[in-house]
Amino acid sequence: MTHDDDTSTENTATESGEDTQTTEGRAPSRRSLLGWGGAGLAIGAVAAGGTAAALRTAGDTQPAGSDATAGSAIAFHGRHQAGIASAVQDRLHFAAFDVTTDDRDELIALLKEWTKAAARMTAGDAVGDGAVGGLAEAPPDDTGEALGLPPSRLTLTFGIGPTLFEKDGKDRFGIKARRPEALIELPQFPGDNLDKARSGGDLCVQACADDPQVAVHAIRNLARIGFGKVAIRWSQLGFGKTSSTTPDAQTPRNMFGFKDGTHNLAGTDTAALDKHVWVADGDAKGKESWMAGGSYLVARRIRMHIETWDRTSLQEQEDIFGRNKGEGAPVGKKNERDTPHLKSMLPTAHVRLAHPDSNGGVRILRRGYSFTDGTDGLGRLDAGLFFLAYQRDVRQGFVPLQKRLAANDALNEYIQHVGSALFAVPPGVRNADDWWGRALFA
Amino acid sequence: MRALRPAAVAAIAAATAVTAVSGCAAKNDGKGSGDKGTVEVTATDTSCELSAKEFPAGHVRFAVQNKGSKVTEVYVYAPGDRIVTERENIGPGTRAEITAEVKAGSYEIACKPGMKGDGIRQKVTASGKGAGAKRDPKLDAAVAAYRKYVQEQADQTLPAAQKFADAVKDGDVATAKKTYALSRVGWERTEPVAESFGDIDPKVDVRADGLEKGQKWTGWHKLEKSLWEEKKISGDDKKLSDQLITDLKDWQKRVGKAEITPTSMANGAKELLDEVATGKVTGEEERYSHTDLLDFHANVEGAEKAYALLKPVVAKNDAALAKELDKQFKVIGELLDEHRDSGSADGFAAYDTVSKSERKKLSDGVNALAEPLSKLAAAVATAK
């Protein structure tokens, strides 16, 4: 499975005062946004374990509930993009796009238009001239299904896939030389059964919000603006966040019924975020400098064999995870957040394998979601984890971790990775004149 | 009605010319004083005189006298050449009466000696409140030209449909299959207008899933199913092929009365792409014959025609939109070209041979065109 354990980041961006501008008056203070809630959902194994405790530094955290319930707006502008370290919202609509134009100027114009629309939507405003009140003969600029709804902490996070730089050996937009080294082709992991139609993409947008209608509205409007320049390649809806970046909140459970990702990175833990999530100035030199302050996103659609899992004994389920099902306590411990004793777990236990202590201290920030896309035609629930993880460099983060898990994790009998994508997530949009990808195309 | 109408007149230009020619007309010959609300129309082989060129809106009676040597007909056209009313077969020396409810506005009355051509036209005005704002004559020209196109498509459909119907009646499955898709092109090119006749569409173009309970399935798709799925032609199918021709003749006759406005043309173009997006790109429309690509192509052609006619106005009001539409029409044309198959009866590959990823490309192309096309109506509506 995945690894999710624990890392979270957030857009703490704001902290930076750099940019200052928030578009939205109603935005709560960023600080409050960051609350860390439950920890990650596990599946993504990775990070898990241990760290968690460390992360919860107190102090700046706020109970997740406070901002979550308000339906408030999260500032769009900042040093880092929102939607990474931000306290994880309840719902997801993630979309991967193919760029269909080969005109660089047209692509740039689209990115500017998208950025503008994203700033408006995350502030709770309609796109363009709105959903009503325009010309009676013409379709409205905004599709309208979010009318009257609060901003719902909508974040829109933008990423760039390897194929935007180069496809079939071709430098499509004159940016091939600026492809970051960390934006690799992910290796084939044992057990992967990847569907090309659910993998890859030149661009992605992750929409997270507390209201699914708000998240769907955002992707729908961006897709509409993009017709003729980009086309949706695949998309995924998610519910029931499986990770949290707010350790003080209840750790959510995954579709297997387990708390996963207890030790995800806290969005308020700036030191850990700087170490594990944000691309540092020194990482991104020369032609890669546009990535400073950004991150790398791995997206994996992980199908869970729900029915066979449900027929598995409680003991075995707990052994597989390395935690008990009720409290989420590590093997031999009492409380969820007790420091795990890895050696008392089975060598194939998910938490043991995913724990930073088993991975050279490496952590990733997970913010995956559960998904259920109905049934699969065989009467089986088409459900699982849509794993999303942010990290400073996948070559130190997801790749070694997933290699370990794919080879050993007892959970593998119950899961299968069926979709996969990697994106470079640029730094935040600084102000109203800035736009997604500007530094790359400058 | 008569077969081709070569004449369907390029409206505007023709209208102007006609006025000049018949400039003579106009005066009533003294008889016009009769009933209030009655306009005397005196037709000869070379003229069309009216007792009044302005009359009150409302219930209007046109009393026609044919003083010429040819059979004539008289039409009342609203802007854009929409037929308000008409009367055919007025023999030499006879009288006929036409009545109509006429709203305030500008109209043209045409006498058509020999029942051919655009006729000899007179501009008239129905006065009263509610006379609509004048619209850009370029838009009236676009509507008239589009109406001509629509009529031509209907006219050209009849012989093609007849070939198909004849093959069905002969029990000739192979020929019927070859002529099936081709008989639909005119209809598909003008579908939004064709569909505006709510009674004809369900008779000729309904699919099995569109039937209401108790409704008998008639039209093209029933025959399509017999030919491809059942691979035989029943006695009932033969009757249905006659019915198809009857219904298409009804369409051909009435299409000139369709309400067409610049915005309905624009939205009609978009609707043609909607047809593609919901029915063709999925392969639902021609689920037995798999001739969806020809329908697809015809829908795009019809949309492009409407756009091309509106383009002079659009290019002025929203140059960027015109540029985008030019580009996207070209792109979709090229995408369709990739699926041409000179070996097939309709010139395109069977849609069941088009892969999922190729269908995705076509679908993306449709979205890329339809989205800017949905802005066409606004570009026309704001034109003053």
Residue B180 placed within a domain: yes
Contact A139 B364 (CB under 8 A): no
- Give the residue from A331, A256, A364, A300 showing the smallest Cα distance to A39: A364
Task: Give B383's pLDDT tier (boundaries 50, 70, 90).
Answer: low
User: In this structure, are B101 and B157 located in the same domain?
Assistant: no
In A, which residues are within 8 Å of B318 by CB distance? none
Query: Which among B368, B370, B378 has the least Cβ separation from residue A138?
Result: B378
User: In this structure, are B175 and B317 located in the same domain?
Assistant: yes
A347 touches chain B (CB under 8 A): no
User: In this structure, are B121 and B153 located in the same domain?
Assistant: no
C-alpha distance from A416 to closest chain B C-alpha (Å): 24
**Nearest residue of chain A to residue B365 (CA atoms):** A228
Burial annotation A179-217 (CB, 10 A radius, 16+ → b, else e)? bbebbeebeebeebebeeebbbbbbbbbbbbbbbebbbb
Residue B13 placed within a domain: no
Whether the per-residue pLDDT at A282 is higher than 70: the answer is: yes
In order of B43, B51, B56, B63, the CA distances from B111 in angstroms are: 6, 14, 21, 12
Q: Given B93, B127, B161, which residue is the final one in a domain?
A: B127
Whether the per-residue pLDDT at A34 is higher than 50: the answer is: no
Most A-contacting residue of B371, B374, B376, B384 (CB-CB within 10 A), to test interface: B371
Place of tokens 């492809």: A179
Place of tokens 């600026």: A178
Burial annotation A42-72 (CB, 10 A radius, 16+ → b, else e)? bbbbbbbbbbbebbbbeebbbebeebbebbb
Residue B84's pLDDT is 83
User: In this structure, are B154 and B282 located in the same domain?
Assistant: yes
**Nearest residue of chain A to residue B362 (CA atoms):** A231
In B, which residues are within 8 Å of A98 by CB distance? 364
Domain span at residue B322 reads 137-381
User: In this structure, are B224 and B184 located in the same domain?
Assistant: yes
Query: Which among B364, B371, B375 has the least Cβ separation from residue A138?
Result: B375
Residue A385 contacts by C-beta under 8 Å, 6 or more apart in sequence? A1, A2, A4, A41, A43, A44, A242, A254, A255, A302, A304, A368, A369, A370, A371, A415
In B, which residues are within 8 Å of A227 by CB distance? 367-368, 370-372
Residue B27 placed within a domain: no
B324 touches chain A (CB under 8 A): yes
B7-11, B233-237, B370-374: segment of lowest average pLDDT: B7-11
Contact A137 B381 (CB under 8 A): yes
Residue B99 placed within a domain: yes
Residue B209 placed within a domain: yes
- Count of structural domains, chain B: 2
- In tens, the pLDDT along A112-150 reads 999 999 999 999 999 999 999 888 888 999 999 999 999
**Nearest residue of chain B to residue A224 (CA atoms):** B371
Of the segments A58-72, B196-210, B319-333, which one has the largest average pLDDT value? B319-333
Please provide the DSSP assignment of A177-194 as one string: GG--TTS-PPPPPTT---
Check: CB of residue A330 under 8 Å from CB of residue A318. no
Q: Torsions phi, psi of B171, nearest 5?
A: 70, 20
Stretch A291-307: mean pLDDT: 97
Residues 80 through 139 of chain A touching chain B, CB cutoff 8 Å: 98, 100, 135, 137-139
Q: Given B80, B105, B127, which residue is the final one in a domain?
A: B127
Query: Which among B364, B370, B375 has the least Cβ separation from residue A231?
Result: B364
A195 touches chain B (CB under 8 A): no
**Calpha distance A349→B298 (Å, rounded):** 61
Stretch B69-81: mean pLDDT: 88
- In tens, the pLDDT along A397-422 reads 999 999 999 999 999 999 999 999 99
> Which ipTM score applies to this complex?
0.78
User: In this structure, are B89 and B159 located in the same domain?
Assistant: no
User: In this structure, are B202 and B314 located in the same domain?
Assistant: yes
Residue B273 placed within a domain: yes
User: In this structure, are B80 and B141 located in the same domain?
Assistant: no
**What residues pair up with A156 in beta bridges, in sequence order?**
A207
Return the percentage of chain A with pLDDT > 90, whole number: 76
CATH number at residue B118: 2.60.40.420
Contact B381 A100 (CB under 8 A): no
- Collapsed DSSP state (helix, strand, coil) of residue A197: helix
The angle subtended at Cα B183 by Cα B182 and Cα B185, nearest 5°, is 70
Whether the per-residue pLDDT at B21 is higher than 80: the answer is: no
Whether the per-residue pLDDT at A31 is higher than 50: the answer is: no
Task: Pull the structure tokens for residue A180.
Answer: 């970051």
CATH number at residue B177: 1.20.1420.20
C-alpha distance from A1 to closest chain B C-alpha (Å): 29
pTM recorded for the entire structure:
0.80
B382 touches chain A (CB under 8 A): yes
Residue B60's pLDDT is 85
C-alpha distance from A217 to closest chain B C-alpha (Å): 17
Is residue A159 within a helix (H) or strand (E), and if so which, with residue range?
Answer: strand A155-160
Q: Given B92, B127, B162, which residue is the final one in a domain?
A: B127
Name the DSSP class of A428: -
Stretch A334-354: mean pLDDT: 93
- In tens, the pLDDT along B108-153 reads 999 999 988 889 999 999 888 655 556 788 999 999 999 999 999 9
**Nearest residue of chain A to residue B371 (CA atoms):** A227
Residue A223 contacts by C-beta under 8 Å, 6 or more apart in sequence? A95, A97, A230, A232
Strands B58-66 and B38-43 turn out to be parallel
**What residues pair up with A385 in beta bridges, in sequence order?**
A302, A370
Check: CB of residue B268 under 8 Å from CB of residue B142. no
User: In this structure, are B183 and B213 located in the same domain?
Assistant: yes
Check: CB of residue A359 under 8 Å from CB of residue A401. yes
User: In this structure, are B262 and B291 located in the same domain?
Assistant: yes
Whether the per-residue pLDDT at B363 is higher than 80: the answer is: yes
In order of A70, A93, A210, A235, B35, the CA distances from A90 in angstroms are: 13, 11, 5, 17, 76
User: In this structure, are B328 and B356 located in the same domain?
Assistant: yes
Whether the per-residue pLDDT at A48 is higher than 70: the answer is: no
A20-29, A229-238, A242-251, B34-43: segment of lowest average pLDDT: A20-29
User: In this structure, are B284 and B159 located in the same domain?
Assistant: yes
In B, which residues are within 8 Å of A229 by CB distance? 368
In A, which residues are within 8 Å of B370 by CB distance? 227
Average confidence score pLDDT of chain A: 85
A17-26, A199-208, A252-261, A298-307: segment of lowest average pLDDT: A17-26
Contact B378 A137 (CB under 8 A): yes
Q: Torsions phi, psi of A414, nearest 5?
A: -115, 0
| Cα-to-chain-centroid distance, residue A185 | 19
Contact B375 A139 (CB under 8 A): yes
Task: Pull the structure tokens for residue B268.
Answer: 């009609």
Contact A227 B263 (CB under 8 A): no
Residue B18 placed within a domain: no
- Three-state SS for A16-65 is CCCCCCCCCCCCCCHHHHCCCCCCCCCCECCCCCCHHHHHCCCCCCCCHH
Whether the per-residue pLDDT at B27 is higher than 70: the answer is: no
In A, which residues are within 8 Å of B375 by CB distance? 138-139
Query: Which among A135, A138, A228 has the least Cβ separation from residue B324?
Result: A228
Contact A138 B364 (CB under 8 A): no
Most A-contacting residue of B326, B358, B360, B369 (CB-CB within 10 A), to test interface: B360
**What residues pair up with A388 in beta bridges, in sequence order?**
A299
Residue B376 placed within a domain: yes
B350 touches chain A (CB under 8 A): no
Check: CB of residue A404 under 8 Å from CB of residue A359. yes
- In tens, the pLDDT along A62-80 reads 333 344 445 799 999 999 9
